[in-house]
Amino acid sequence: MIQGYDPRTGQPAGDPVPETDGAQVDAIAEAAAAACVPWEQVGAAGRAAALEAVASALDGATEELVTAADTETALGTARLTGEVARATGQLRHFAAVLADGGYADAVVSPGGDGVPGLRRVNRPIGPVAVFAASNFPFAFSVAGNDTASALAAGCPVVVKAHEGHPRTSVLTARIVAEALAGAGAPAGTFAVVFGVEAGVRLLKHPAIAAAGFTGSARGGLALAAICAQRPVPIPFFGELGSVNPVVILPGAAAARPGDIASGYAASLTLGVGQFCTNPGLLFVPAAGERLLPEIAAAVQSSSGGPMLTARIHDAFSAAVTELGARSDLSGLAEGQPGQGPWSATPAVYQVSLAEFAAGLPGLAQERFGPVGLVITYPSVADLLPVLARLGGNLAGVVFNGWPTGVVVTSAQHHGGPWPASTAPAYTSVGAAAIRRWLVPVAYQDFPARLLPAALGHGG
Amino acid sequence: MIQGYDPRTGQPAGDPVPETDGAQVDAIAEAAAAACVPWEQVGAAGRAAALEAVASALDGATEELVTAADTETALGTARLTGEVARATGQLRHFAAVLADGGYADAVVSPGGDGVPGLRRVNRPIGPVAVFAASNFPFAFSVAGNDTASALAAGCPVVVKAHEGHPRTSVLTARIVAEALAGAGAPAGTFAVVFGVEAGVRLLKHPAIAAAGFTGSARGGLALAAICAQRPVPIPFFGELGSVNPVVILPGAAAARPGDIASGYAASLTLGVGQFCTNPGLLFVPAAGERLLPEIAAAVQSSSGGPMLTARIHDAFSAAVTELGARSDLSGLAEGQPGQGPWSATPAVYQVSLAEFAAGLPGLAQERFGPVGLVITYPSVADLLPVLARLGGNLAGVVFNGWPTGVVVTSAQHHGGPWPASTAPAYTSVGAAAIRRWLVPVAYQDFPARLLPAALGHGG
């Protein structure tokens, strides 16, 4: 059984949800396989309408969804209300992507003079397994961006729910399934499974053609290995850890230390620091004497709060304890503690660039939660080679802004070199996220009547 | 030492080429890493000019190249002259891709009203390791399509030469390196290493960011595992085995058995059957009584020839021996034997659909060389579920044509589901092949003067 907990008290919240057993997982995967052809044949317009229907149904249930999720995540009703809107916005974004048609990447090379004619178009890869995230119970969970983009691509979806919000997942799944059925999606187009064993069995099932994951590097690596070692390996799109380095240049540090300090503290502690784009590393000029006290003051006045799960809280506590015990770091500031047994207190440590460099790669690993390193650098010339030694990150090219807050647009790329993701050419946010679930097929000298719709079917 | 052989005699041909030792591999990989920034900064127009220069240099050396390759591969001067032209055509194709600019996939989401503006563009992934193929000494080797597409993308390239044609590789590499240097490419942009150990060391080197491979499923799997198990895993694009099923429908079998039979025999024996698009499986109607004797006659009048290497010849011989020993198959026809110790004789076996299905997946595995299975099916309705059980293939959607002969155009997709390739969303032929070596970067609220050229640099 999967038992949800109230992070504010550490006590069980709501009835437990049964784990999906092996036979159920197999039946769900086979139903997804059977839905492949009919779901593709619903067509782009039909799938767009189905995504709109799901969005409307979720919007209509916002209050109920937020109540369930707030109990299980303690993220607060304001944030969660906004997150439902983000999730439904993502569903509508992919309806618009389908209407635009560019995702199909349809290309015609006419041939002639003895050269064969080719018509290429993207088609759905097949049933997709989606592993939901802890920290976004709506936007990257049962009805999140992986689900929205895979359904848009024409792929049936089976979500492995996150253990951190089982009741929210059950509720969301019911709403999504009803809305899809009402919009004419074939049986098997969408399902949710519960439990780690169910997730692993799902990933190994021959019917599954690709998988998406948002979570820790450790969990993602384990699932990536399963995908690579299947008799038929499948693509795995994992969005893993990121420390999202932020550099404060000397001019900015001198000109607006107060704004930078308050922006940093807000970004570091947003959602109790439980963001993949949390600014884990802040590089500041060693000569920027006004900035450090401003940062200390801003962090001291920030507040902690309950973390999502006991496991996340324990990992955060261990990471802070480890940092506190190091002789190469000094504590710069602590924020106000939150309430309850799983609460995190914001903490920032200070280290010189030289000592930071000596502590690589360990010092640059992700610590999920409101904890940051402030690294003081003597000069930009000294800084550049150290930045070059950092691993891949999700956010690193934001100008005069903070990495938290990832917009959903066509130009978004929320991905990055290892270890930020397992597939650096792909994004998990924005219109291009659909590309993960598509494979090109080129048709040579095919008559128009036998081609898929995007290539002239019926023409 | 890497010793080339003349397949027509099985005797050593030319001086052996020294294996690249570990220190040399490391130095080459580090030089490639150092070339990343300057090669990208050469810009799309500069790289296009460099590719054109390489193409012209190779064209000018065609006779010398063909002589070297014919000695080492026995593919014949006509085929090899055409293949040099194909390789230089590919280089020019990517010059045109750069001129077009669409490969950059530049997208602008302007933002405004508090929403950040994003500009996304594809950038080179970093130094690429290319593992050359045995069966295309020019088009998929030192100066082949992987090299052309990676150089176009802005990636330095290190080729691991194939053992089957070392002198051809040395000669090609010298021409490519001189042409690139003459066109202003920075040192380290291109190099070749020799030897299996050198190839593995190259693949494990931290400077290498991605790898391309054309060859056997066994070799590709071993290299894919190395890529996945590096401390920093890298994308691996392997084009592996394929049996390229061809279905003859009842109407065609009745209407033009002679054309089909001669087309099949020609496709099966082209280049001594050493093509990734060789028609390994031919499904014909059981009632098509005129077709089988026509196929037998066409195959009987076809000719074998020397295979590329002793290893390829031994694997082919073993595969034919194994097929001949099976009680579920019957021999349909044998062609004329070729000359020399490594020669292959075309051979076609016949099997009923039911027995073929019972022998899956083993019967559908790739057998590199001029050997095919003709499967007689009772009806299209019986055939479809058996086709659905076949693995992924490079060619399967060619209408009224044979799979050998892969055109180089924007709409080409030369890839496929496992085991045809390790990355079904990518192609190794055609304009889209450049996508393997590119990663998107999104710039948030960046000033135009700091953006890459494709996004408004200098604007």
Q: What ipTM did this prediction achieve?
A: 0.92
Residue predicted with more confidence, A391 or B68: B68
Q: What is the pLDDT of residue A457?
A: 56
Please give, rounded to a whole number of angstroms, the shortest distance from the CA of A108 to a CA of chain B: 6
Contact residues, chain A, for B36 at CB < 8 Å? none
Question: For residue A236, is pLDDT > 50?
Answer: yes
Q: What is the pLDDT of residue B459?
A: 37
Q: What is the pLDDT of residue B458?
A: 42
Does the beta-carbon distance from B401 to A435 stay under 8 Å? no
Contact residues, chain A, for B425 at CB < 8 Å? 125, 235, 435, 438-440
Q: Are A403 and A267 in contact (CB under 8 A)?
A: yes
pLDDT band at B457 (very low <50, low <70, confident <90, very high): low
CA–CA distance, B189 with B212 (Å, rounded to integer): 16
Q: What is the pLDDT of residue B331?
A: 97
User: How large is the average pLDDT for residues A53-60?
Assistant: 98
Long-range contacts of B16-21 (CB under 8 A, 24+ apart): B16/B166, B17/B161, B17/B166, B17/B167, B17/B169, B17/B170, B17/B194, B18/B194, B19/B194, B19/B195, B19/B197, B19/B198, B20/B193, B20/B194, B20/B195, B20/B198, B21/B198
Mean pLDDT of chain A: 95
User: How large is the average pLDDT for residues B18-37?
Assistant: 98
Does the beta-carbon distance from B399 to A450 stay under 8 Å? yes
Q: Note the pLDDT tens digit of each residue in B141-196.
A: 999 999 999 999 999 999 999 999 999 999 999 999 999 999 999 999 999 999 99
Q: Is A399 in CB contact (< 8 Å) with chain B?
A: yes
Q: What is the pLDDT of residue B396?
A: 83
Question: For residue A459, is pLDDT > 60?
Answer: no
Report percent pLDDT > 70 for chain B.
99
Contact residues, chain A, for B103 at CB < 8 Å? none
In the β-sheet with A107-109, what is the strand arrangement from edge to edge? A107-109, A118-124, A438-444
User: How large is the average pLDDT for residues B305-322?
Assistant: 97
Q: What is the pLDDT of residue B361?
A: 93
pLDDT band at B265 (very low <50, low <70, confident <90, very high): very high
Closest of A298, A365, A369 to residue A335, by C-alpha = A298
Question: For residue A458, is pLDDT > 50?
Answer: no
CB within 8 Å of B59: residues ≥ 6 apart: B84, B85, B88
Does the beta-carbon distance from B439 to A417 stay under 8 Å? yes
Q: Is A455 in CB contact (< 8 Å) with chain B?
A: no
Question: For residue A404, is pLDDT > 90?
Answer: no
CB within 8 Å of B249: residues ≥ 6 apart: B285, B380
CA–CA distance, B99 with B256 (Å, rounded to integer): 44
- First-residue to last-residue Cα distance in chain A: 54
CA B451, distance to chain mean position in Å, is 35
Q: Note the pLDDT tens digit of each residue in B207-248.
A: 999 999 999 989 999 999 999 999 999 999 999 989 999 999
Mean pLDDT of chain B: 95
CA–CA distance, A304 with A308 (Å, rounded to integer): 12
Hey, which residues 92-121 in chain A have their CB within 8 Å of chain B? 107-109, 111, 115-116, 118-120
Hey, which residues 413-442 in chain B have their CB within 8 Å of chain A? 413-415, 417-419, 422-425, 427, 432, 435, 438-442
User: How large is the average pLDDT for residues A143-147?
Assistant: 98
Q: Is A365 in CB contact (< 8 Å) with chain B?
A: no
Contact residues, chain B, for A398 at CB < 8 Å? 116, 444-445
Number of helices followed by number of strands (H, E) in chain A: 14, 17
Hey, which residues 211-240 in chain B have their CB within 8 Å of chain A? 224-225, 228, 232-235
Cα–Cα–Cα angle for A118, A122, A126, rounded to 5 degrees: 130
Catalytic annotation, pick one of A36, A155, A227, A276: A276
User: How large is the average pLDDT for residues A289-306?
Assistant: 96
Asked about A276 being catalytic, the answer comes back as: yes
Contact residues, chain B, for A405 at CB < 8 Å? 116
Q: Is B389 in CB contact (< 8 Å) with chain A?
A: no
Which among A234, A418, A438 is the nearest to B233, CB-wise?
A418
**Residue B180 corresponds to which tokens in the numbers above?**
């690139």
Q: What is the pLDDT of residue B99?
A: 96
Closest of A188, A233, A185 to residue A211, by C-alpha = A233
Residue predicted with more confidence, A112 or B200: B200
Q: Note the pLDDT tens digit of each residue in B394-442.
A: 888 899 999 888 888 898 999 988 889 999 999 999 999 999 999 999 9
Q: Note the pLDDT tens digit of each residue in B282-291.
A: 999 999 789 9
Question: For residue B95, is pLDDT > 90?
Answer: yes
Give the residue ranges of DSSP H helices in B256-398: 257-269, 291-300, 310-324, 353-358, 380-387
Q: What is the pLDDT of residue A120?
A: 94
